[in-house]
Amino acid sequence: MDTQIAVQPSALIGWAGRPVLMDKAHQHDDLEINFVAEGGTMLYLFGGEPVEIGPGSVAAFWAAVPHQLVANSATRAHWVHVPFATFLGWNLPSALVGRLLSGTPLIAPPAAVMDADSANFTQWAADLSSARPERRRIMLLEVEARVRRLALDAPGGPVRPYSGGDPALRHVVAMVRHIAEHFREPLTVADVAAAANLHPNYAMAHFRKVAHATIGDYLAGCRLAEGRRLLITTDLPIADVAAESGFSSVSRFYSAFKTGCGVPPAAYRRQHR
């Protein structure tokens, strides 16, 4: 089940507005930072787990991991995307970088909410729209400081399990979690469906209804994210990276990587090392 998935280009951007549910899971080579300014909670399916970002909370995660906003009661949120090369250039503590690259988001608990967050995120968006390079440099310094503080405040335990009442979403959460835990192995639709105790045809319909993608597409996204992580963090030969990421052959890995990232694996490694 090696299908193709495209990765959105990396960019330094920031904006605000009412969150909109996403048509399907996507990936982009950035550190993504979210801030819920008003209203309720944003619920992502992220790397096999449901991740809830509540009112006033700030979250940061490596957006190469497939993620999708599937439920929302927030009325206003802010987003900042920091290109991956810029993020690596911050020389953050290795434990923090490792945590983010492993697919674990940083989420500030309510007790760690900062009064200045709303004003800061608004200012950062204004700085990014400015034609003055110095404003963008100051913005990046401030964002780096906020991520460092977030790392101190975010709890280190596992994310809280999803307990919502939507049966379809619960089934898809179970399937996404199974994919995240087993994507390195040969997987069939029947394997994934069994994790939710569903018939394969019913599982595929459920998955498309909630995730707006096929099980194969989501699986390919997980494998591609793992391949990128291994290229950046290890010296494994390309063939070993392909195998460790779950691709059935090196040629399939090269094809998926070139389609998804726009460059071959070796070039991607040189760009980010």
What is the predicted pLDDT for the residue at 199?
A: 94
What is the predicted pLDDT for the residue at 159?
A: 47
pLDDT digits (tens, 9 = 90+) for 223-232: 888 898 889 8
| Below-50 pLDDT ranges, the chain | 2-3, 159
Distance CA(240)–CA(22), nearest Å, equals 33
Task: Let me know: does 50 contact 85? Beta carbons within 8 Å.
Answer: no
Long-range contacts (CB closer than 8 Å, 24 or more residues apart) made by 118-122: 118/35, 118/37, 120/146, 121/14, 121/16, 121/35, 121/37, 121/78, 121/80, 122/16, 122/78
What is the predicted pLDDT for the residue at 95?
A: 78
Q: Which residue has the tokens 């760009």?
A: 271
pLDDT digits (tens, 9 = 90+) for 17-45: 999 999 888 888 789 999 999 999 999 98
What is the predicted pLDDT for the residue at 87?
A: 85
Amino acid at 99: R
Phi-psi region of 49 (alpha: psi -120 to 50; beta: other; left: phi over 0): beta
What is the predicted pLDDT for the residue at 8?
A: 64
CA distance readout (Å), 212 to 19, 204, 215? 17, 10, 10
What is the predicted pLDDT for the residue at 2?
A: 46
- Neighbour tally for 25: CB within 10 Å: 24
What is the predicted pLDDT for the residue at 17?
A: 95
Task: Let me know: does 66 contact 25? Beta carbons within 8 Å.
Answer: yes
The residues, any chain, with a CB within 8 Å of residue 187's CB and separated by 6 or more, are 1, 179, 219, 246
